Structure 1
Amino acid sequence: MKKQNSYENNEGASQASHRCSWRCLGPLTFHTQAVGDMVCLSHGHQRAERNKDTFRNGLVFSSRPLKVQERLRLRVEKDFFKWNGSLRVGFTNVSPSGRSLPLPSMAIPDLTNTPGHWAAALPESFCPAGAELEFWVSAGGSIYISGNNGTGLKLLTGVDLSRPLWALIDIYGQAYSISLLGSEKQGLVCRRSCPAAEALLPPDCDNQLSLAPGVSGLEEDCDEDMETSEGTSCVVCMTKEARVTLPCGHRCLCSQCSSKVSQQFGTCPLCRHQISAPHVQIRRVPVLV
């Protein structure tokens, strides 16, 4: 199974620092570096799938810390009744970027026996294929889960709120494929994470960013990028001219797709080099006088 060699998440430079508006909680995906040995990520790092021939080695984490009362939403995509038990969910004060690989094989007891980890097993009835659920930590330090039918359960108490909290999910037992649907925080105004991009990656489980022709969600709402012939086109939309040179030297994106790739992934789609400040190169048409 191919694993990503390196990815500098910076815990906020390309993720939490971005805001679409004051209502935006920031982008949210699965962390691309701290991934269980039997898990592969796809669909823009918003789907995580464990090898169904094993019931463990399915740990994943959120790409950024979550706020108190921020509800993380999941959908179970596939299940397999060869195994007993199902998802384990919780939170951790330990940054995913600082974890050594390989990760422990199970959240319970491998992680929960060490400081800074809180996780609980979900009932199998909460996790059939197609089920959507959300979990969060309350202002009192308790973890709650809510399922499809609105039934809520208190999973555990005693979470330390004095430090940042990343969500942890153990794709365990029967549920072996899940999608991250984003998050929301209720209040006077409901705040949400950035909308999930649709089908940014094919479901081929390779943990690599591989943007395909005809990507949905990348609207062409300006005309500063011209359509171009084959060979110089943007690797995302495949129609406009690639006029953005990334820090790694690859000139592979149009300006419209460049901003979206930078915000959602933070890496070059060709070589995975981190994007800091892309250098936009635009051809100027001389004005005849």
Structure 2
Amino acid sequence: MGAQLCSEAGAEAPREALRFHPEAKGAQVRLDARRCTARRRATFHDGIVFSQRPVPPGERVVLRVLRHEDRWRGGLRVGFTRLDPAHVPAPSLPPFVCPDLEEQSPTWAAVLPEGCALAGDVVCFWVNRRGRLFAEVNAGPRILLRKGVLMGAPLWAVMDVYGTTKAIELLDPAASWFPTTKPWFLSDDAVPEPEARAGEEECAICFHHAANTCLLPCGHTHFCSSCARRVFRDTAKCPMCRWQIEAVALAWGPPAVRSGEGS
């Protein structure tokens, strides 16, 4: 009995569900009563919002894009900041998180790749203990957005409802928003190489087989498994961006997270 009580006392308290901070928000932002939805009323800027509490390394911030507006350029920005929103007067917030807030404070944010924040898309982002900012869109491959987030102090999530992104909603990370599929990293065994059919992307190296792999952590998906495996073995550098390749996964279904890297 005593051991049980001791174990329960040492257990980590459940984290408060993430909400938008009620006061530290851009001039054009309107929140719903639960502070789960943030909408930008007009223009394409003044849409900065923060989480109401710090987000520890590895915790996923999950949101859904509710509304997309085509008449602007650029879209949702996500990241982390050491600014405590409780001490940030709303009128002092700049119009943009990138580069304005980054230049004024210890803030690290990035825009999602083009086409990755359309209405209905579910975006998950987090920072790991090595200071790398990652994102996933619709449970797809991990995308490395940037490096160099300074660790060692509390970090609040920061989002910019910018440009084409008109409204976002915070979601419960524990809920299942997608069908589950078995993740699968490529092994050394041969994988059948289908030829690229009409309308399918062909491998950017052999120009013959279908592009069916994802390089991690950069997220590029332009290669067949044979070519991707050869590049991984020979140089371990992505041919598109030159990032170090740490794993190669099949492009269908969400890739598994290697131990220690995504947490």
**Contact (CA 8 Å) 1:73, 1:134: kept in 2 or not?**
yes
Question: 2:77 is aligned with what amino acid?
Answer: R
TM-score by length of 2: 0.59
Tell me, in whole angstroms, the C-alpha distance in 1 between the residues paired with 2:114 and 2:85: 27
Aligned to 2:142, which of 144, 149, 152?
Answer: 152
1:112, CA displacement in angstroms?
Answer: 1.1
Residue 77 of structure 1 corresponds to 66
**Aligned positions, number:** 163
Say if 2:19 is the partner of 1:29.
yes
Aligned to 2:158, which of 168, 171, 179?
Answer: 168
Residue 206 of structure 2 corresponds to none
TM-score by length of 1: 0.54
Residue 126 of structure 1 corresponds to 116
* Cα displacement string for residues 6-33 of structure 1 (whole angstroms, at most 9, x for unaligned residues): xxxxxxxxxxxxxxx8573222200001
Residue 10 of structure 1 corresponds to none
- Please give the residue correspondences for 1:1-289 in structure 2 after superposition, counting only pairs within 5 Å: 22=12, 24-51=14-41, 53-102=42-91, 103-183=93-173
Tell me, in whole angstroms, the C-alpha distance in 2 between the residues paired with 1:131 and 1:39: 20
1:55, CA displacement in angstroms?
Answer: 0.6
| CA-based RMSD | 1.5
Report % sequence identity: 39
1:149, CA displacement in angstroms?
Answer: 4.6
* Cα displacement string for residues 150-178 of structure 1 (whole angstroms, at most 9, x for unaligned residues): 12211111111111000000000111100
1:83, CA displacement in angstroms?
Answer: 0.3
Tell me, in whole angstroms, the C-alpha distance in 2 between the residues paired with 1:47 and 1:65: 18
Tell me, in whole angstroms, the C-alpha distance in 2 between the residues paired with 1:29 and 1:145: 19
Unaligned segments of structure 2, at least 5 residues: 1-10, 175-263
**Contact (CA 8 Å) 1:85, 1:123: kept in 2 or not?**
no
Tell me, in whole angstroms, the C-alpha distance in 2 between the residues paired with 1:115 and 1:99: 11
Residue 281 of structure 1 corresponds to none
* Cα displacement string for residues 46-72 of structure 1 (whole angstroms, at most 9, x for unaligned residues): 000001x31100000000000100000
Structure (1 or 2) with the greater helix fraction: 2
Tell me, in whole angstroms, the C-alpha distance in 2 between the residues paired with 1:61 and 1:78: 19
Deviates more, 1:66-75 or 1:25-34: 25-34
* Cα displacement string for residues 175-221 of structure 1 (whole angstroms, at most 9, x for unaligned residues): 1100000346xxxxxxxxxxxxxxxxxxxxxxxxxxxxxxxxxxxxx
Deviates more, 1:104-113 or 1:23-32: 23-32
**Contact (CA 8 Å) 1:72, 1:136: kept in 2 or not?**
yes
Question: 1:112 is aligned with what amino acid?
Answer: E
Tell me, in whole angstroms, the C-alpha distance in 1 between the residues paired with 2:28 and 2:114: 21
**Contact (CA 8 Å) 1:80, 1:176: kept in 2 or not?**
yes
